[in-house]
Structure 1
Amino acid sequence: MRQAILATLLLSAAGVATAQTKPAISVETLKTVTQTLASDAYEGRAPTTPGEDKTVAYIVERFKAAGLKPGNKGSWFQDVPMVEITATDVQPMTFTGGATPLSLAYRTDMVAGTYRVTPGIAVKDSEVVFVGYGITAPEKGWDDYAGVDVRGKTVVILVNDADWQVQGREGPFEGRAMTWYGRWPYKFENAAKHGAAAAIIVHQTEPAAYPWAVVQSSWTGPQLELDEAGDHMDQSQVIGWIQQASAQALFRSAGKDLDALTRAAQAKGFRAVPLGVKMSTGFANTIRRQASKNVIGVLPGTTAPGETVLYSGHWDHLGRCDAVDGDDICNGAADNATGIAGLVALAEAQGKAGPAKRSIAFLAVTAEESGLLGSRYYAEHPVFPLGRTVGGVNMDVLNVVGPVKDFVLTGAGKSEIEDLAKPLVAAQGRTISPEANPERGSYYRSDHFSFAKLGVPMLSGGSGQDQVEGGVAAGHAAREDYVANRYHKPSDEYDPNWNWGGAIQDLNVYYALGRKLADDTGLWPNWYPTAEFRAIRDQSRAKTK
């Protein structure tokens, strides 16, 4: 039965491109919106700054011009309560009790902060324990905290999953493909559940998916968290990262071999190892509470306006950051001014096509760079009920290097919405390629994940690396160059020479998919039975029937 249903979906999806006249996606809109939002006048679009005020006002202006209506009960905005914590006077992270006392300098050797909303943090002489990958996964029979009490202690944790070096997908944690257990938010969350006073991740460029410079720019300066009851006092006092070389020096001082212990931690049954040293650090916190904003526009449906198809993208970036050659504005042109430009261009195209049967909502969310906070807040406080949200598309960094021959489904194998996208890709003469770097955990690093966790299937996918001009080699080189030289750096700036051909390819897929979901009122894509989000989707849908 399921195969027959999917076959019907595939055939109907394949016909959507010819069943209607599709307005053209405006390249001029993509250029103008990206150049505007990435200009120095917007100061890197950090939430709760004057740059935010300019950003959200501009998005509203463009949404209005596209023919959208305010999406939140007559308002364009959803307030997202934020607390900004800025660590000041950060003391060196010192380790004593080993063969050689160590003092790690802030920013160069380590970064440290806190989720706790408190004027100051002081951790003194906290025993240090190596907990491998810091994973507790009962369904896999895996517990790196088994047999050890880390309450009040400092845990040192490896980044990614235990099987990230496996080239295929075989392994307890899906092999090369990172799972939620490999992401840093999970590791800090799990350490806090076990009562750790401090949680420190060892940085390695390949399994982290970015160099130390990204950690340095992202984890210093003002840090945002949702402003919630309890002031996050259930979290560890200190969270942070240390350079791999610093970690190796720490383990040598403790008479241990980090490489050997890393290999041991990759096997089921690993037991945490006390290092016999103690950690101390501290800092003051400057605290500021202020709401940021999600921007919501809607094209109301005609016959089923209470059912919603969602397009999303994050408008924020890092604001002022570490200066490079005198430039201290992280403009975030690709990440994610391009995504918001795509959101506006899709709003224009859907508006020109006229209302669909279901409503189509356009959500520009805040604070993605701070841990998906804006989308998380929306998902937990939805304007459009999640049980009546059909599905949609999230956009985070469009292709600006040119047309490609392939399309990559991020986190493939999870939902039926992928089956709807595949024939749309095929209609362009493109093929579906596997993720080139599944170890980077891209599925858990953008705003679609906030919706997925609460059951809504959202497409996360876009251009692969097989460029029409230059093939896979050129595409791979362009991707790696971006990660190494522009990602989360001041050099992520608008370039008038960008080639928008690949972005147009992808946006045409997103347009057709959204229109199909909005016009076929019998269509409710679900997660595959093996997906971790299936149960919550079934529950939320059941409540609406």
Structure 2
Amino acid sequence: MKKLLISCLLIAVNTFVFAQKVSPKFNQKEVERIISTLASDKMQGRASFTPYIDKAANFISTEFKKIGLKTFNNSGSYLQSFKMVQPKTIKTIATWNQQPLNENHIIAFTSRPELKINETSGYEKVFIKASDNFFTVARQLIPGKKNCLVMVDSEHAKKFDRLNYLKEYLFKSENSVVFVLTNEEPKTFSIEISHEIKELKLANVVGVLPGKKLKNEYVIFSGHYDHLGIEKPINGDSIYNGANDDASGITAIISLAKYYKELNNNERSIIFVAFTAEEIGGFGSQYFSNQLDPQKVAAMFNIEMIGTESKWGTNSAYITGYEKTNMGEILQKNLKGTNFTFYPDPYTEQQLFYRSDNATLARKGVPAHTISTSKMDNEPNYHKSSDEVKTLDLTNMNNIIKSIAISAGTIISGKDTPTRVDASQLK
């Protein structure tokens, strides 16, 4: 009887130890359920500012709640809401050193219906010189952290009008930034602009898995949940479902949240965020990034378009901005012994590092990269109504999500910390 009890005890101990070593599984049926919901015709392409993107946000929120994630900053809601404005210029009257100023030489970024300023208004004067990178400087000023009068050297005349593309949607702000194409600093000036202002609402979806010993250090997993909505019909289909772009990324985020919650050993806190409005300017990631201290973010995994095979086939993906930090090296080290490979971005001429939701935090020095498999030189369904679940390789996609989870392990545990991006070298 005594020997029997000892044997049973040993079996129980071995079973417990084995159970402790077994990681949670990634269920392909769950992957299919999530992506099929997000990319269904019922979501109508998840365009920003439509009821359908709200429907998608509610679905993601429900998934986060089922998993048991906390809300960001204990807000009580997974929705991180913010406002945008859409200004339409109605009338412009201006003088510069008491001479009429061409209205085409003025572009104002403002939330005010009526903007009237002159030399006594207290606007800070900023100069964009001929030798400056025009859009780099302009992007730094446009968030409207203070009132600015920006004088743009005439060498940038051919680029000046392109500022209007950045003006279609603006964050709601009390401050205004006025660009004037001129080489002459004014002693006196008067600018009066009337706008029709339309206020719009957006929301990111954010869930948090608090860390243990390093709970004030963060690892971010992100993707964008918006797409193009209803567009010009192709073969009779006008719904641009965005299955690969980027319901695949959001499916990965939800799957990873469930995995790390079940694993329950993350030393660093993990933030899972589904960004809105990526397709119209990356506004969701811009807003989110401004709510964080970038020095506390150890790494950001932005996941976009992982539903198709990469140019190297299955069991592979690429990392944008691979050379800017050693994060890719860490991920590949953690995958030693597997058949999965992370490659550097093969499409550097397309500037993908700057075109996705990783860019805002990367510009603040965070090792923030996008993981993708999309063949950007030959992805047949990109931004088309044919981007549907049936075109994706869900088995490979499930393996990619699993590989991301494994490769991020030492960063989440705090054992590894990627080197920072040299923000001074970014565009």
Note whether the superposition's TM-score is higher than 0.5.
yes
One-letter amino acid matched to 1:532: A
Q: Does 1:492 align with 2:404?
A: no
Tell me if structure 2 keeps the 8 A contact 1:81–1:227.
yes
One-letter amino acid matched to 1:81: K
CA offset at residue 56 of structure 1? 0.9
- Counterparts of 1:78 and 1:427 in 2: how far apart (Å)? 40
Tell me if structure 2 keeps the 8 A contact 1:309–1:514.
no
Q: In structure 2, the residue corresponding to 1:229 is in which secondary structure?
A: coil
- Counterparts of 1:45 and 1:114 in 2: how far apart (Å)? 30
1:430-455 CA distances to partner (integer Å, 9 max, x unpaired)? Answer: 44544332111111111111111112
Match of 2:423 in 1: 532
Match of 1:342 among 230, 252, 257: 252
One-letter amino acid matched to 2:408: G
- Counterparts of 2:178 and 2:387 in 1: how far apart (Å)? 36
Tell me if structure 2 keeps the 8 A contact 1:309–1:361.
yes
Match of 1:42 in 2: 43
- Counterparts of 2:158 and 2:85 in 1: how far apart (Å)? 21
CA offset at residue 229 of structure 1? 3.1
- Counterparts of 1:328 and 1:515 in 2: how far apart (Å)? 41
CA offset at residue 457 of structure 1? 1.0
Size of the alignment, in residue pairs?
A: 351
Match of 2:400 among 506, 517, 520: 506
One-letter amino acid matched to 1:332: G
CA pair 197-29 structure 1, distance change in 2 beyond 3 A: farther
Which range moves more in the overlay, 75-84 or 345-354? Answer: 75-84
Match of 1:446 among 352, 356, 361: 356
One-letter amino acid matched to 1:314: H
CA pair 190-325 structure 1, distance change in 2 beyond 3 A: farther
Tell me if structure 1 keeps the 8 A contact 2:315–2:396.
no
CA offset at residue 80 of structure 1? 2.3
CA pair 49-463 structure 1, distance change in 2 beyond 3 A: closer
CA pair 424-364 structure 1, distance change in 2 beyond 3 A: same
Q: In structure 2, the residue corresponding to 1:460 is in which secondary structure?
A: strand
Match of 1:381 in 2: 291
Tell me if structure 2 keeps the 8 A contact 1:296–1:362.
yes
Q: In structure 1, the residue corresponding to 2:37 is in which secondary structure?
A: helix
Tell me if structure 1 keeps the 8 A contact 2:308–2:373.
no
* Identity among equivalent pairs (%): 26
- Counterparts of 2:237 and 2:281 in 1: how far apart (Å)? 25
- Counterparts of 1:235 and 1:321 in 2: how far apart (Å)? 36
Bigger-Rg structure (1/2): 2
One-letter amino acid matched to 2:394: W
Tell me if structure 2 keeps the 8 A contact 1:526–1:534.
no
Match of 1:24 in 2: 25
One-letter amino acid matched to 1:511: A
RMSD between aligned residues: 3.7
- Counterparts of 1:20 and 1:450 in 2: how far apart (Å)? 37
Tell me if structure 2 keeps the 8 A contact 1:452–1:533.
no
- Counterparts of 1:87 and 1:23 in 2: how far apart (Å)? 55
Q: In structure 2, the residue corresponding to 1:488 is in which secondary structure?
A: coil
- Counterparts of 1:367 and 1:232 in 2: how far apart (Å)? 22
Match of 1:324 in 2: 234
- Counterparts of 1:114 and 1:460 in 2: how far apart (Å)? 33
Match of 2:169 among 221, 224, 231: 224
CA offset at residue 289 of structure 1? 0.9
- Structure 2: where are the runs of 5+ without partners? 1-19, 91-106, 115-127, 142-149, 182-193
One-letter amino acid matched to 2:406: A
- Counterparts of 1:429 and 1:463 in 2: how far apart (Å)? 16
CA offset at residue 225 of structure 1? 3.0
Tell me if structure 2 keeps the 8 A contact 1:339–1:395.
yes
Match of 2:370 among 460, 464, 469: 460
Q: Does 1:290 align with 2:292?
A: no
Match of 2:120 in 1: none
1:117-151 CA distances to partner (integer Å, 9 max, x unpaired)? Answer: 6889xxxxxxxxxxxxxxx9xxxxxx9x459xxxx
For normalisation by structure 2, the TM-score amounts to 0.70
CA pair 489-405 structure 1, distance change in 2 beyond 3 A: closer
1:144-190 CA distances to partner (integer Å, 9 max, x unpaired)? Answer: x459xxxxxxxxxxxxxxxxxxxxxxxxxxxxxxxxx7xx9659759
For normalisation by structure 1, the TM-score amounts to 0.56
- Counterparts of 1:371 and 1:286 in 2: how far apart (Å)? 21
CA pair 331-516 structure 1, distance change in 2 beyond 3 A: same
Tell me if structure 1 keeps the 8 A contact 2:304–2:372.
no
Match of 1:194 in 2: 152
- Counterparts of 1:364 and 1:24 in 2: how far apart (Å)? 22
Which protein has greater RCO, CA pairs closer than 8 Å, 6+ apart?
1
Match of 1:84 in 2: 86
Q: Does 1:315 align with 2:225?
A: yes
Match of 1:397 in 2: 305
1:239-288 CA distances to partner (integer Å, 9 max, x unpaired)? Answer: xxxxxxxxxxxxxxxxxxxxxxxxxxxxxxxxxxxxxxxxxxxxx98642
CA pair 462-421 structure 1, distance change in 2 beyond 3 A: farther
Tell me if structure 1 keeps the 8 A contact 2:217–2:269.
yes
- Counterparts of 2:28 and 2:140 in 1: how far apart (Å)? 45
CA offset at residue 22 of structure 1? 2.5
1:301-312 to structure 2, matched below 5 A, reads: 301-312=211-222
One-letter amino acid matched to 1:30: V
CA offset at residue 405 of structure 1? 5.2
CA pair 185-323 structure 1, distance change in 2 beyond 3 A: farther
CA pair 225-25 structure 1, distance change in 2 beyond 3 A: farther
CA offset at residue 460 of structure 1? 2.4
Tell me if structure 2 keeps the 8 A contact 1:404–1:502.
yes
1:58-69 to structure 2, matched below 5 A, reads: 58-69=59-70
Tell me if structure 2 keeps the 8 A contact 1:393–1:460.
yes
CA offset at residue 510 of structure 1? 1.9
Q: In structure 1, the residue corresponding to 2:270 is in which secondary structure?
A: strand
1:44-102 CA distances to partner (integer Å, 9 max, x unpaired)? Answer: 212222112101110001111222122232321222221235799xxxxxxxxxxxxxx
- Counterparts of 1:311 and 1:225 in 2: how far apart (Å)? 26
